[in-house]
A and B are shown apart, each in its own frame.
Chain A
Amino acid sequence: MASYTFHRKNRPLALYAGAFAVFIYLPIMFIPLFSFNSGWYVKFPLESFTFHWYVDLFQREQLMRALWNSIKVALFVSFFSTLIAIPAALAVARYRMPGKSAAIGFIMLPLVLPGIIMGTSILGLMNWFNVTLSLVTVTIGQMVICLPYAIAVLLPRFIGVGRALEEASADLGEPPLRTFFRVTLPIALPGVLACLLMTFTISFEEYFMAFFLGGTEITLPIYIWTQLRFPDDFPSLLALATLIITFSFILVFASLRLARIGESLTQEGAR
């Protein structure tokens, strides 16, 4: 076997990539570090270790309300954006149709629109039609943000299930909806779960829509944003941020794992 030189490990390149990884993690790592520090000010040298700032969080009514709002919105957003993304991804994966690439480009549009533009524009429209801003308007706005990601996660899984299995089901007498529930969904399930988790995470941390479309209702990111003005709250915000980061790391890790499990499953199916 000839071994070509481009397979050779490039040590400086590996070191560079490692340094890059450190660069992207380092700032984030300071948050948990200082969240256990007893001092009011975020600075070295560290004082003593404390859980005080974490305990403090649970005594804040407004925070609890914002947390509950975030969870509610994220649940609705992940459910409905996945629900809309499933047929859309199936259409893209299975059907020949005129205007397909234009439709895909249109759905992917939120990826190339700054959040502030989408936020203010939807705000303008809601205002024109006298729609009261609430968590409902936030949910609609965040669904738009999530849709391109949801379709991107689902599409490879549906392609992996393959047309033939669905055709076999139809051939054996099952109408399209039952075919979806008996064949497509079970095989693509890890992908669908990954999609739910990912859209939940995106919604849970989304800022622009929540800021412009929330009205008097606030979600967790908006709570953090408003509390940043008060220096006294800073250590507690660090504690809160630590919890959120840990939570979202777990969610994303789980969804990426699921996506990989789905990949191996559908490969088996396509064999």
Chain B
Amino acid sequence: MISLRNVNKAFGRVQAVRDVSLEIAKGEFFSLLGASGSGKTTLLRMIAGFESVTSGKILIDGQEIQDSPPHLRPINMVFQNYAIFPHLNVRDNIAYGLQRLGTPKAEQARMVDAMLEMIALPGYGDRRATQLSGGQMQRVALARALILKPKVLLLDEPLGALDKQLREQMQLELRSLQRQLGITFILVTHDQEEALTLSDRVAVMENGAVIQVDTPAGLYDHPTNRAVAAFVGSMNFFDATVHGQGDAYRAEIAGLGPQRLNGQAGARQDGARVLVAIRPESLTLSPTAPEAPQPSVQGRITARQYMGGRQMLHVAVEGRAAPVAVSIVAQRGDDPWDGSEGRPVWLTWGPGAISLLDAE
């Protein structure tokens, strides 16, 4: 329903967005994830119409809109700092866009009341907008956009200014709201956790370009790129070389030894240098040597970090400079790894734990 085709944006000599092509489906919750300066906000502002495209096309339902000014696009936006009109009360803020549509006054009032109900702020209509808290402003900004029944709702880091607790609550509300309304949401965020919990699909951006588009699970389990792998969650990277051909592929992984590959190698040539990525939680630890045929390697625990429900153990292995990070569920009370620094352990992993990436 919304398509970006080879969209570019240059500010003078700076290329802010490079050749982005995306297809976002109707009713999808789509996120643009990236660090600041990755071009995600510029891309969103081009969809909204606040920035023109340098080249490329933006289509909604097959209609080109890249040359339409923002007020002619069936798109609404929730701004980063809400952009609530300070000279209007809550009611007039929410009804702002209705005036132009010529909605009768009585109908407007009814719609605003319904919206106030929906955002759980009934009776707030006559408050001055500047008296609201951050979370309340956020809801008003949402209501102001949704009352116009847009085809697409854009959200520019909408939860960034809220504290952690409120942010988590708003995430849940946002998600259920989107399910209810069936409107396409496009969210810009630098918070990978937020992108993964909320979205149907996520586009990871770096340096103005989209480097991977996938479902949260896809991104997490099968990153195609070191940057994505590093940005989404934490990751152990190993230098490795591919050997063999056809079904008999195997990898020689620095620090972990040889490993049979089940089709992950694709069409790589014999001797190709690759990068192996393994999530800390895909590794398991045991104090004794596991039985064959599970692959394993012996190491030594060098450090432990408590992280609430989990703990991270750093295991030094031979043939690798940096220790391998292993995440395990913290045990209440009796902790088998208590005082285990320096102790020898065995690292094991299942066949699905490995992702193969191109070496840089």
Contact = CB atoms under 8 A, between A and B. Distances in A.
A186 B101 CA distance: 21
Interface stretch (B68-76, B214-222, B319-327, B332-340): B68-76
Given A186-B87, A269-B86, A171 B48 contact: yes
Contact of A187 (B79, B81, B87, B96): B87
A162 B97 CA distance: 19
Interface string B313-350: 00000000000000000000000000000000000000
A172 B96 contact: yes
Main secondary structure of the interface of A (DSSP, over half): helix
A168 B83 contact: yes
Given A173-B148, A186-B87, A269-B86, A167 B79 contact: yes
Interface in A161-180: 162, 164-165, 167-176, 178-179
B97 to A, nearest CB: 3
B50 A175 contact: no
Contacts of B83: 162, 164-165, 167-168
A165 B101 contact: no
Interface residues of B, number: 25
A264 B75 CA distance: 32
A212 B69 CA distance: 47
B70 A183 contact: no
A56 interface: no
Contact of A169 (B11, B81, B96): B96
Interface in B70-110: 70-71, 75-77, 79-81, 83, 85-87, 96-97, 100-101
B148 A172 contact: yes
Contacts of A167: 48, 50, 70, 77, 79, 83
A81 to B, nearest CB: 25
Given A173-B71, A173-B97, A173-B101, A168 B85 contact: yes
Contact of A271 (B48, B85, B130, B145): B130
A170 B49 contact: yes
A173 B83 CA distance: 15
Contacts of A169: 85, 96
B100 A174 contact: yes
Contacts of B80: 164
B139 interface: no
Contacts of B100: 173-174, 178
B250 interface: no
B85 A183 contact: yes
Contact of A172 (B11, B49, B97, B130): B97
Most chain B CB within 10 A, of A164, A168, A183, is at A168
A219 B162 CA distance: 60
Contacts of A172: 71, 76, 96-97, 144-145, 148
A128 to B, nearest CB: 42
Contacts of A174: 71, 96-97, 100
B77 A171 contact: yes
A47 interface: no
A40 to B, nearest CB: 57
Most chain A CB within 10 A, of B69, B83, B144, is at B83
B2 to A, nearest CB: 16
A268 B130 contact: yes
B128 to A, nearest CB: 10
Nearest to A178: B100
Contacts of B75: 171
Given A171-B70, A172-B96, A268 B144 contact: no
Contacts of B145: 171-172
Interface in A142-176: 162, 164-165, 167-176
Contacts of B81: 164
Nearest to A169: B96
A164 B86 CA distance: 12
Contacts of B86: 165, 187, 265, 268-269, 271
Contacts of A170: 49-50, 69-71
A183 B50 CA distance: 17
B79 A164 contact: yes
Contacts of A182: 96
A269 B148 CA distance: 23
A267 to B, nearest CB: 10
A13 B130 CA distance: 42
B114 to A, nearest CB: 18
Contact of B85 (A165, A171, A176, A265): A165
Nearest to A165: B83
A176 B72 CA distance: 11
Nearest to B11: A96
A170 B81 CA distance: 16
A210 to B, nearest CB: 39
Contacts of B79: 164, 167-168
Interface string B7-51: 000010000000000000000000000000000000000001110
Closest 3 CB pairs of A and B: A172-B97, A269-B86, A168-B83
Given A171-B77, A175-B71, 18 more contacts: A96-B11, A164-B80, A167-B48, A167-B70, A167-B83, A168-B85, A171-B76, A172-B71, A173-B100, A174-B97, A176-B71, A178-B100, A179-B71, A183-B85, A186-B87, A187-B87, A269-B87, A271-B130
5 contacts: A164-B79, A164-B81, A171-B76, A183-B87, A268-B130
Interface of B: 11, 48-50, 69-71, 75-77, 79-81, 83, 85-87, 96-97, 100-101, 130, 144-145, 148
Interface of A: 96, 162, 164-165, 167-176, 178-179, 182-183, 186-187, 265, 268-269, 271
